[in-house]
Amino acid sequence: MHITAEHVITFIEQVAATIKAQRDYLTQLDSAIGDADHGVNLDRGFTTVLTKLPGVADKDVGTILKTVGTTLVSTVGGASGPLYGTAFLRAGMAMGDRFELGTADVIAALEAALEGVQSRGKSARGEKTMIDSIGPGIDALKEANAAGEDFISALRKGVDACEAGMRATRPMLATKGRASYLGDRSVGHQDPGATSAFLMAQAMLGVVEQL
């Protein structure tokens, strides 16, 4: 299984499309436990990202992902801009000048992204954030891959775990970010960032299923 730089561009385009389509839903989730801007923030960022893609169309995967990261940091704002920006930057740094990625590379990129979010956000699992969907998703992907499953079915398991992690944020008490200001009132609502992370994971699966 080889993912080319072109597939990575398609993945980013799919993320931008799904964020645009789900913008109001993400913002609605953020209105319950935040300031009603998550969908708007991410849509602004990924719309700008789309304008940068033609300039990196013939570049290596590291350059593409780093361009996405710096664009998100400078355009998204809020907590999620620096966090997703760092995720894409770290994934890009991990991929360097590769033009093709194998299974191990994709896993390494995702792990680097998660580490980036955790170090930038000083957050751990169970705090009702995007980490609660990204973390279990990567665990399930790695476990299925280590058990010898083909990449598509391993990635499907990862996306399923990501979705379960997203839903598991509902009963959680937020202890990081804006939602933590609500204390007990944050309980009973799905985390917007865990939801956008799941949408990105679904977009990745969609691209891999077309390979």
Q: What is the DSSP string of 87-146?
A: HHHHHHHHHTT-SEE-HHHHHHHHHHHHHHHHHHHT--TTSSSTHHHHHHHHHHHHHHHH
SS3 2: coil
34-73 binders of Mg ion (CB under 5 A): 34-35, 37-38
Q: Are 143 and 107 spatial neighbours (Cβ–Cβ below 8 Å)?
A: no
Nearest distance in Å: CB 8, ligand ADP: 23
Q: Is 194 in the site for ligand ADP (CB under 6 A)?
A: yes
Q: Are 112 and 69 spatial neighbours (Cβ–Cβ below 8 Å)?
A: no
Per CB under 6 A, the list member of 83, 94, 113, 154 interacting with ligand ADP is 83
Per CB under 6 A, the list member of 9, 94, 117, 207 interacting with ligand ADP is 117
Q: Is 82 in the site for ligand ADP (CB under 6 A)?
A: no
Q: Which residue is nearest to ligand ADP (CB)?
A: 193
Q: Is 150 in the site for Mg ion (CB under 5 A)?
A: no
Phi and psi of 181, rounded to 5°?
Answer: -65, -25
Nearest distance in Å: CB 54, ligand ADP: 26
Residues that bind Mg ion (CB under 5 A): 30, 34-35, 37-38
